[in-house]
């Protein structure tokens, strides 16, 4: 995960405090250097407030902006949709990540309702009762079809994000 995306996860409070020292080490290993990053990388059992403060300072020292709430949501959704399309995550895992990390933070947002329905359908056909009733092969085919629909929805969302970005070019 790159520094910009990491700052989006940080912005939405999706990074565990215990993970911040390892993230700092990863940044250092990738050639990013700052005083606060070096201190954070050396923390064995970080104090939550201090670790978050050091990470925020490190981002500032590295001139990595912490995105607004809306920009962080967009960046994270784009990331998960790309992982679904590229196959870096299964469609189910990617859609579940969007729901767990993004959807729960939004109020009355209908953008991700399709994922909720598809995750529910996938789970239904993973259930032992349905497996026994319909058989493994039938349920596997249904889950495969659901994953294809998740990929299509991820593609639709990526295209909609691209259109939003292109419509905002030159507008401040």
Residue that is written with structure tokens 């629909």 in the block: 149
Please give the pLDDT value at position 108: 62
Residue 58 token pair? 């490190």
- Which residue, among 44, 45, 56, 43, has the nearest Cα to 15 in the 3D structure? 56
Domain segments of the chain: what residues? 3-61, 69-168
CB atoms within 10 A of CB 127: 11
Burial class (CB in 10 A: 0-12, 13-18, 19+), 86: exposed
Convert the pLDDT of each residue in 67-125 to its tens digit. Answer: 999 899 999 999 999 999 999 999 999 999 999 998 888 766 677 888 999 999 999 99
Kindly report the CA angle at 15 between 39 and 107, in degrees rounded to 5? 145
Convert the pLDDT of each residue in 24-78 to its tens digit. Answer: 999 999 999 999 999 999 998 889 999 999 999 999 999 999 999 989 999 999 9
Q: State the pLDDT confidence band at 172, using cuts at 50, 70 and 90.
A: very low
d(CA 87, CA 110): 25
Residue 163 token pair? 């259109």
Q: Supply the DSSP symbol for 111.
A: T
Please give the pLDDT value at position 163: 59
Query: For residues 135 and 169, which has the higher predicted lDDT (pLDDT)?
Result: 135
- Which residue, among 14, 19, 10, 64, has the nearest Cα to 41 in the 3D structure? 19
């Amino acid at each position: 995960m790159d520094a910009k995306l990491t700052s989006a996860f940080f912005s939405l409070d999706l990074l565990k405090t215990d993970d911040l020292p390892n993230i700092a080490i990863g940044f250092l290993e990738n050639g990013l250097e700052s005083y606060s990053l070096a201190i954070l990388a050396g923390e064995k059992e970080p104090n939550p407030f201090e670790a978050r403060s050091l990470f925020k300072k490190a981002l500032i020292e590295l001139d990595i902006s912490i995105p607004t709430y809306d920009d962080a949501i967009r960046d994270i959704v784009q990331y998960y949709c790309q992982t679904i399309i590229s196959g870096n995550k299964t469609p189910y895992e990617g859609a579940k990540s969007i729901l767990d990390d993004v959807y729960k933070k939004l109020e009355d947002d209908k953008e991700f309702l399709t994922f909720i329905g598809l995750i529910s359908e996938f789970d239904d056909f993973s259930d032992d009762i349905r497996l026994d009733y319909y058989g493994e092969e039938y349920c596997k085919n249904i889950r495969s079809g659901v994953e294809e629909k998740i990929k299509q929805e991820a593609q639709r969302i990526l295209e909609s994000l691209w259109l939003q970005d292109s419509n905002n070019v030159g507008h401040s």
